[in-house]
Amino acid sequence: MNELPILITLASVHFVALMSPGPDVALVVQNAARYGRQTGLYIALGLSAGILLHSILSLTGMSYLVHQHPNLFSTLQLVGGSYLTYLGYCALKGCWQAKNGTGSEPNQENNVLLNNKRQAFSRGLSTNILNPKALVFFISLMSSLVPADMSLIGKGIALIMLWGLSLVWFSLLAWVLSTQRMQSKVQAMAFYIDGLCGVIFSIVGTSILWQSIGGLLLNV
């Protein structure tokens, strides 16, 4: 079986999804713009690690099993939605404090947290792996594009490719936003960037929470 067309299609669909606005892109934009290149690159590493984990779980069928158990999937939605909503709350709270002059620095709490490499990596990993929409996306991607009889080498290449594309895209985004030329422009718009990212996190998080509560109620 010629697996090259499958891999090309898989890469193309995944890359388009990577560029779509969502929590992952918002996290890189918000933090690389505000806290610099190192934080942005470690967040990119965490996000790509989460995507690699999602890909492995989908290829091995573990994600499908989770999705087939309504209570377990609704619980995952509840946890993931709560986490994303919390990120949105923190971003919007920082904007509110900046606007009203309360607090010594907007998002100072997050600044201390994300200046730590390990914490920046963890933030990226958590944001991706706890997003139930990512789980559903990878189940759909793998089940529709990866045939069951695909070779182990082909599956291995697919995993490396999905991880590599994710790391390159998010790292490039972090790099561009943290250049000296961009930093001066971005810092002037930091309030609006934080606000927009806060809205994205909040909308995605609350929509996931709404779905999880509905799912749990249906299964009572």
pLDDT average per 10 residues of sequence, the chain (220 residues): 84 90 88 83 95 91 77 81 86 75 50 66 92 86 82 91 95 88 71 80 85 68
> Terminus-to-terminus CA distance in the chain, angstroms?
46
Domain ranges of the chain: 22-218
- CA diameter of the chain: 63
Which pTM value belongs to this model? Answer: 0.81
Residue 99 in 3-state DSSP? helix
Tally the residues of the chain. 220
The predicted pLDDT at position 185 comes to 72
Instruction: Please state the φ and ψ torsions of residue 36, each to the nearest 5 degrees.
Output: 105, 175
